């Protein structure tokens, strides 16, 4: 248990604070050193001691027996599928999130990012913009570049962790700084530096009258930037850095403290609540206000395609957003916050109001006329924003007429249905029915079952197959093709298998080969009732695929079908399978 937790922290942060770890586990430094030696030996990784830290060398690949409960990190198709899924769930994937989930190193991740077709992501962005005018809030080509740069930046291992250690030492005496806040700040700081290195410099004109106060910590950071990257930050970038330092509590900020306090007083006075629930919704509002100030300082305005619907469905919240805008204009010397921005503020105020009403229970009705279109992508977004939802019910707009809605029920509407008579309506400004349909088509999620039906199926009861090459010989022999074709396929499969095992976890292997052969069936599924050994791993399902070199692009949906299929396979299911009909049922 302890050694596994230590490994996870090393993989997540790249380093291990020695004293913190000793205190956490109540062990001696000698015991910790023994744990590190065991990790190095077990997983064939390099961990070195530097000052008060143990540092993980990400240039060394992890040993194959380090596994993950849901994703076989050795399988590139699974990793890429996981990353793409996360991109469409959250619109962004941070590097440390990938490490924590997949336990892979920098070199592997860099290769995966290169493999993911960037046009795939661009297609989604273009589709969103075509559907409703920049729904992804990507305003122009420069803004797009910045957003994509932030989302897909792969941190240089040595440079990034060196920066992380610098800031940890810098704020080590400040007990108000959490490790999470520090890591988030380092991420933003690192992106900022590389943005400037790429000459993507943003001017914050409204900050030109600000006075940079004498601050030892800020001076040390500027010296560090100069030494490491030979950069002298422009004045407005120093202001930006100082604001970020204040936002993440790395330096004390009377301005930020006063703003939060005044904002609380404003919201309590203007919302029908006694106190503000300091949840993620509240933090999102603060972050939105910060982004609004910076946007207005750079002359950028968001387009809001739903402004008319928001004004109709949120009349009271929209009026409150007007008051909030006047408050912000006075505090930050802003001028004429636009109607578009007022709409976004109204959405935040509505969510904040719901989350701040104490001891209230809400039923959430998710409206869609096509049940099979609504996916976890939208549900993930909704539940992450609204913490007090105790029930989500999926209904159609026709069924809505038959439901007696309580005054506190929360209606979530997907798409463009025009329903104006409900107390509270949340219209998601990013994902609509058409978008989800489009994404599902891109991921081939709708065709999973159809693809599986195209596999020619074999039910085999055999004992004592102890080797993957022996198994490949057997399954090729079962095919219906001519002997010379089967021999060529067998040679290609064995050549591929000798490069690396095609075992992908969850009792499943996918031997495949690129050939010019035209088989009776390119997709074959073999089920071994008693199980066979595949590179010392127990296997029940073997998917044999012949990839014709002339039609390589057609095969990706079938690999994704297999990944989806194996997620639902477990030992309990296997014990209930007694016939070929049972196999077809799965």
Residue 111 lies in a domain: no
Same domain for 492 and 569, yes or no, is yes
For residue 92, the tally of other CB atoms under 10 A from its CB is 13
349 shares a domain with 296: yes
Highest mean pLDDT among 40-49, 182-191, 218-227, 388-397: 218-227
What's the whole-number mean pLDDT along residues 60-75?
A: 44
Question: How many domains are there within the chain?
Answer: 5
Its sign, for the CA torsion 264, 265, 268, 274, is positive
> Which residue, 548, 539, 533, is CA-closest to 469?
533
Degrees (nearest 5) of the Cα angle 40, 77, 497? 75
d(CA 315, CA 311) in angstroms, rounded, equals 5
Q: 413 and 528, same structural domain?
A: no
Q: Position of tokens 């004992």?
A: 463
Identify whether the C-beta of residue 301 lies closer than 8 Å to the C-beta of residue 295. yes
CB 529 within 8 A of CB 459: yes
What count of residues does the chain have?
586
Contact between residue 4 and residue 35 where contact means Cβ atoms under 8 Å apart = no
Residue pair 11/56 in contact by the 8 Å Cβ criterion = yes
Rounded Cα gap, residues 91 and 56, in angstroms: 29
Q: Residue 26 belongs to what domain range?
A: 2-56
What pLDDT score was predicted for residue 224? 92
Question: Is 140 within the bounds of a domain?
Answer: no
528 SS3 class: strand
Single residue among 401, 416, 443 that ends a domain in this structure: 443
Helix, strand, coil percentages for the chain (3-state, nearest 5): 55, 10, 30
Cβ-Cβ contacts under 8 Å for 46 (sequence gap 6 or more): 40, 56, 57, 59, 60
Using a pLDDT cut of 90, give the percent of the chain over it: 2
Query: 323, 321, 266: which is closest to 288 by C-alpha?
Result: 321
Q: Which residues pair with 539 in a beta bridge?
A: 532
Alpha helices (H) along 248-338: 254-270, 280-298, 307-313, 315-332
Contacts of 506 (CB under 8 A, 6+ apart): 72, 566, 567, 569, 570
209 occurs within a structural domain: yes
Q: Which residues make beta-bridge pairs with 298?
A: none
How confident is the prediction for the chain on average, in pLDDT?
64
Give pLDDT, residue 344.
79
Q: Which of 423, 443, 463 is the last residue before a domain boundary? A: 443
Q: Could you tell me the two tokens for 516? A: 């010019």
| 551 in the same domain as 499 | yes
The answer on 298 and 320 residing in a single domain is: yes
Residues 286 and 170 in one domain: no
Return the CATH number at 403: 3.40.50.2300
Residue 331 and residue 370 share a domain: no
Question: Among 175-189, 409-423, 482-496, where is mean pLDDT lowest?
Answer: 409-423
pLDDT at 190: 82
Q: What's the confidence (pLDDT) of residue 466?
A: 73
**Residue 89 maps to a domain:** no
Ranges 297-306, 461-470, 569-578: which has the least confidence: 569-578
CB atoms under 10 Å from CB of 26, counted, come to: 7
- Position 125 scores a pLDDT of 45
Residue 225 is predicted with a pLDDT of: 93
pLDDT tens by residue, 346-371? 877 776 765 554 434 434 444 443 33
- Distance, CA of 196 to chain centre: 25
What is the phi/psi pair of residue 363, to 5°?
A: -95, 135
Q: pLDDT tens digits for 140-151?
A: 334 444 444 444
Residue 300's domain is classified under what CATH number?
Answer: 1.10.1790.10
Q: Is 133 part of any domain?
A: no
Nearest Cα to Cα of residue 363 among 338, 327, 400, 335: 400
Beta pairing class for 508-509 and 503-505: antiparallel
This prediction has a pTM of 0.32
The pLDDT value recorded for residue 64 is 29
Nearest to 134 by CA among 302, 296, 299, 292: 302
Q: What pLDDT score does 586 carry?
A: 45
- CATH code (residue 496): 3.40.930.10
CA atoms within 13 A on the CB side of 455: 27
d(CA 303, CA 340): 6
- HEC secondary structure over 267-293: HHHHCCCCCCCCCHHHHHHHHHHHHHH
Nearest Cα residue to 441 out of 579, 295, 560, 548: 560
Inform me whether the pLDDT recorded for 226 exceeds 80: yes
pLDDT tier, 503 (very low <50, low <70, confident <90, very high otherwise): confident
> What is the CATH classification number for the domain harbouring 47?
1.10.10
Quick one: 307 and 341 in the same domain?
yes
Q: Of all residues in the chain, what percent carry a pLDDT higher than 70?
A: 43
Is the pLDDT assigned to residue 447 strictly greater than 80?
no
248 in a domain, yes or no? yes
497 with 579, same domain: the answer is: yes
539 domain residue, yes or no: yes
Q: Mean pLDDT across the stretch 542-565?
A: 69
Residue pair 39/29 in contact by the 8 Å Cβ criterion:
no
Domain assignment present for residue 191? The answer is yes
Half-sphere exposure of 293 (CA within 13 A, CB side): 20
Pair 345, 456 in one domain: no
More confident residue, 315 or 128: 315
The most confident of 19-23, 182-186, 194-198, 494-498, by mean pLDDT: 19-23
Pair (496, 569) in one structural domain: yes
* 401 shares a domain with 324: no
Single residue among 299, 322, 356 that ends a domain in this structure: 356
């Amino acid at each position: 248990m302890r050694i596994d937790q230590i490994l996870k922290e090393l993989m997540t942060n790249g380093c291990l604070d020695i004293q913190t770890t000793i205190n956490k586990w109540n062990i001696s430094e000698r015991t910790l050193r023994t744990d590190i030696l065991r990790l190095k030996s077990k997983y064939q990784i390099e961990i070195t001691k530097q000052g008060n830290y143990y540092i993980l060398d990400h240039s060394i690949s992890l040993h194959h027996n380090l596994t993950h409960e849901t994703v076989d990190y050795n399988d590139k198709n699974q990793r890429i599928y996981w990353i793409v899924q996360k991109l469409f769930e959250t619109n962004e994937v941070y590097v440390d999130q990938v490490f924590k989930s997949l336990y892979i190193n920098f070199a592997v991740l860099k290769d995966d990012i290169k493999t993911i077709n960037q046009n795939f992501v661009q297609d989604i962005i273009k589709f969103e913009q075509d559907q409703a005018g920049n729904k992804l809030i990507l305003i122009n080509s420069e803004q797009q570049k910045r957003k994509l740069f932030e989302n897909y930046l792969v941190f240089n291992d040595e440079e990034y962790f060196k920066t992380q250690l610098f800031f940890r030492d810098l704020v080590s005496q400040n007990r108000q700084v959490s490790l999470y806040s520090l890591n988030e700040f380092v991420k933003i700081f690192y992106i900022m530096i590389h943005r400037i290195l790429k000459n993507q410099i943003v001017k914050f004109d409204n900050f030109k009258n600000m006075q940079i106060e004498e601050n030892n910590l800020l001076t040390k950071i500027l010296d560090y930037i100069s030494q490491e990257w030979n950069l002298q930050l422009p004045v407005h970038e120093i202001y930006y850095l100082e604001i970020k330092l204040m936002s993440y509590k790395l330096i004390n900020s009377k301005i930020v403290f006063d703003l939060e306090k005044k904002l609380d007083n404003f919201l309590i006075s203007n919302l029908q609540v006694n106190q503000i629930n300091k949840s993620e919704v509240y933090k999102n509002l603060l972050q939105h206000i910060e982004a609004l100030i910076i946007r207005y300082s750079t002359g950028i305005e968001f387009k809001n395609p739903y402004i008319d619907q928001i004004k109709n469905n949120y009349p009271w919240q929209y009026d409150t957003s007007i008051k909030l805008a006047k408050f912000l204009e006075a505090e930050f010397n802003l001028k004429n916050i636009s109607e578009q921005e007022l709409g976004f503020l109204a959405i935040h105020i509505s969510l904040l109001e719901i989350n701040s009403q104490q001891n209230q229970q809400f039923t959430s009705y998710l409206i869609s006329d096509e049940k099979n279109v609504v996916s976890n992508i939208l549900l993930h977004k909704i539940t992450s924003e609204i913490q007090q939802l105790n029930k989500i019910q999926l209904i159609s707009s026709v069924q809505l007429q038959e439901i007696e809605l309580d005054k506190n029920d929360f209606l979530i509407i997907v798409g463009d249905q025009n329903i104006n008579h409900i107390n509270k309506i949340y219209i998601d400004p990013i994902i609509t029915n058409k978008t989800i349909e489009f994404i599902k088509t891109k991921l081939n999620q709708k065709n999973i079952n159809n693809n599986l039906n195209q596999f020619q199926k074999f039910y085999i009861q055999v004992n004592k197959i102890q080797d993957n090459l022996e198994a490949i010989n057997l399954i090729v022999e079962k095919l219906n093709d001519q002997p010379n074709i089967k021999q060529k396929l067998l040679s290609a499969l064995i050549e591929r298998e000798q490069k690396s095992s095609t075992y992908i976890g969850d009792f499943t292997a996918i031997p495949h080969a690129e050939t010019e052969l035209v088989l009776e069936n390119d997709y074959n599924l073999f089920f071994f009732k008693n199980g066979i050994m595949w590179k010392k791993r127990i296997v029940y399902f073997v998917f044999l695929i012949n990839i014709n070199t002339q039609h390589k692009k057609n095969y990706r949906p079938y690999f994704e079908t297999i990944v989806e299929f194996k997620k639902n396979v477990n030992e309990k299911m296997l014990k209930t399978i007694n016939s070929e009909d049972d196999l077809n049922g799965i």
